[in-house]
Amino acid sequence: MRISELSRRTDVPVTRIKYYIREGLLQPGERSQRNQATYGEAHIDALRLIRALRETAGLSVEAVGAVIAELKRPWAEADPISEALDKVYPLPDRKRSESEEQAYALLRKEIAEMMRGLTWTLGNEPRWNIDHLTDTMLQLREHIPPGISVETLGRFANLAWAISEACYAGFEDHVPSPGDDLVDPTRRAIMGTILIEQLISPLVRSALALRSNHIVAGIKPPPA
């Protein structure tokens, strides 16, 4: 099909399709005789994927490019999932005074220890994660003192593990074997991780907002 039809079928404007091609998010069309590019079903699929990452997950064009590059790597080659997440969720670049830096280093050590003590972290908790958590914990301490304790963070971590258990229910015993399509599980794990965040975040916001509504209304919140 021509680019105009691709645009019509995917609801993505022609200029934006050309932009995605320039940025390397989308393969160029095949040059046909009359020096026109033709596009196939694979382009439709790719654009739907880009839309999901842009519109539903709210990722930047740069982050979408990073995700697409990782999606094609075989499962279990290095750690494509963590590497994709590393690129999608960069750390805030925050300048700290000397005393802030000390508080940061201290808390980071405490969080890393707590995480290592969990049953499920395999001892290799990614760097970006600990740094993101430490930064946020310090912000909570500053803006809603006394903030959250590392013990509470540990409870959050175990609830996160319960969320991942619910996600993978039924897939626990599936170990990819050499005959499997090894790219598909990578794609599923990365897309699943990015999209499932868009279920958990609104639910957590909602739970927090509604719990505060209970408190305002003087209604005892039901136990979890």
In angstroms, the CA 11 to CA 54 distance is 14
In angstroms, the CA 131 to CA 139 distance is 12
> Which residues make Cβ contacts (< 8 Å) with residue 184, sequence separation at least 6?
75
* CA-closest candidate to residue 164, choices 200, 211, 204, 112: 200
Backbone angles phi, psi at 181, to 5 degrees: -75, 110
Q: Which of 18, 44, 69, 82 binds its own copies (CB under 8 A)?
A: 82
Instruction: State yes or no: residue 1 binds its own copies (CB under 8 A).
Output: no
In angstroms, the CA 104 to CA 54 distance is 33
Instruction: State yes or no: residue 163 binds its own copies (CB under 8 A).
Output: yes
Instruction: State yes or no: residue 211 binds its own copies (CB under 8 A).
Output: yes
Contact track, its own copies, 29-68, x by CB under 8 A: -------------------xx-xx--xx-x----------
Mark residue 136 as left, alpha or beta (left: phi above 0; alpha: psi -120 to 50; beta: remaining): alpha
Task: Write down the least CB distance from residue 189 to its own copies, Å.
Answer: 5
Q: Which stretch binds its own copies (CB under 8 A): 14-22, 28-36, 61-69, 76-84?
A: 76-84
Task: Write down the least CB distance from residue 17 to its own copies, Å.
Answer: 15
Q: Which of residues 120-149 bind its own copies (CB under 8 A)?
A: 120-122, 125-126, 128-129, 132-133, 135-137, 139-140, 142-144, 148
Residue closer to its own copies (CB basis): 35 or 78:
78
